[in-house]
A and B are shown apart, each in its own frame.
Chain A
Amino acid sequence: MDHVKLVNDPIDIAHIHQLLADAGCGASSVFVGTTRDNFQGKKVVSLAYEAYDSMALKEMNKICLDLRSKWPDLKHIVIYHRLGTVPVCEASVVIAASSPHRSEALESVSFAIDQLKTRVPIWKKEIYEGDHVSEWKENKESIRPKRSKSAFNYAACPCKVEESHDVPRTLVQIRVNDAELTKRLECFVNRKRDEINSQNVIDFKSSFVNSDIDLSDSCARTQSTIIKQEQSNCHLKVRRVNNRCGPQQMEMRPNYELELNKLMGSRDGQTDPFKEMRKSLPNSRLQAIESYMCLTTDNEENIFSRIKKVENRLLQLESISPEYRHFTKLEPSSMELPPPKKIRKKSYSVPELSAFIQKIKEGSEFA
């Protein structure tokens, strides 16, 4: 049973015990809050309690409900709070619970007094000896006003976004939508994480890491090297980290050629007629790359000087953001140089040429 009460007279602890008594309960826990006789060196004569009675009772009953949902084994719960003037050393609050076993009784009482101090609308004023002005107390647990960020009325101050197209093109590295930008950022973060992880391992290892070896269960510390200092007679071993492959020594140069090949989509040595066609036509893919990279070009220009321009542009972008290359999500193993690209001039026989022309005619709708 729940016994919840606000009382104006001294609380009788023996009576509380009677309320708790139950043959099936092996434990009753009683917390008695009493008034202290001093505060910051001032002698307290008495305390004056007041409450928002109806709400206080409501909140105390809510605490009982909370306790029963948290500790279903509880038998009786008592929450008594005294109001009015309470002389020092007398009980101002009593919280008690009985249960078959002690842990529920002990824990629930402790929880309940915290809750009471937090949310039951009761106040006390300390009345001091002498001329000290009496003071309203504040529980540190007390419920406080919350101000969520959305309390700010954004609608009241409209924010004008200036649609400016005057940003110099050279300052704009990429123009993409949100989804693409998010993808790139994610990619960048993942890449950074991987890099840090791998370096954490590599830094403490004596030799270059062979990427074939699984590093997942290696521990950086155990693989550091112990080197006795040169000409040292000391019996102590000197621990050194052989940093031949730390970040400083990492090959920082990106592999442009591979990137470029990827962009160009060229797989050398295949005589796909469409590929040949693309080579012969003004190179639309290269044009697309150029426009993507904000390069102005002349179609009459030598293709190698155009590629050179693209390369320069890549270099420039990388100098602005060294991580640029990682947006392409290359696996580290693919960093090895591909075999140099060979440009072969093929000579065709007449039947081959006519077959080729036939193919172009058939595929004319693709063009």
Chain B
Amino acid sequence: MNADGPVVNVHVLFFAKSRELANTPRSKVDVPTKITASDLLDLLVSRFGLISIRDNLILAHNESYIDNLSDTVLFKEGDELAIIPPLSGG
């Protein structure tokens, strides 16, 4: 899915369950500069072995939630992506 168009390298942060599954708190990954959130999620899920929690993940791009998976996300080099499993603060 990133065969066409330019790609950029972004930071990916993992937390809680996703951190345990990915076996690392942070990584870097190449992503297309323009991609829909659902495609992006699929890309990250398959890259980091998060299939078991795929349906509960939400992404944050530069510390803002990507509210809707049908949204299109635009990336710049060095952007920060976070993989957010269901929250349990409080």
Which A residues lie at the B interface, using CB under 8 A? 33, 49-52, 54-56, 58, 81, 92-93, 113, 116-125, 136-139, 142-148, 150-151
Contact = CB atoms under 8 A, between A and B. Distances in A.
Contacts of B16: 50, 123, 125, 136
A60 to B, nearest CB: 10
Contact of A146 (B60, B67, B82, B90): B67
A75 B34 CA distance: 44
Contacts of A136: 16-17, 85, 88
A54 B11 CA distance: 14
Given A123-B87, A143-B58, 4 more contacts: A50-B15, A122-B90, A138-B86, A151-B68
Contacts of B69: 145-148, 151
B15 A117 contact: no
Contacts of A52: 13, 15, 60, 63, 82, 84
Given A52-B84, A55-B82, A122 B89 contact: yes
A139 B86 contact: yes
B15 A123 contact: yes
Interface in B19-68: 36, 38, 41, 55-58, 60, 63, 65, 67-68
A124 B16 CA distance: 8
- Chain B interface residue number, banded: 20 to 34
B2 interface: no
A70 to B, nearest CB: 20
A121 B57 CA distance: 12
A51 B36 CA distance: 26
Contacts of B88: 122-124, 136-139, 142
Contacts of B90: 33, 92-93, 113, 116-117, 122, 139
Given A50-B15, A93-B89, A138-B87, A121 B38 contact: no
Contacts of B68: 146-148, 151
A138 B57 CA distance: 12
Given A143-B65, A144-B58, A145-B56, A120 B13 contact: no
A144 B56 contact: yes
16 contacts: A33-B90, A52-B13, A93-B89, A116-B90, A121-B84, A121-B89, A123-B16, A124-B88, A125-B16, A136-B85, A136-B88, A139-B88, A144-B56, A144-B58, A145-B56, A146-B67
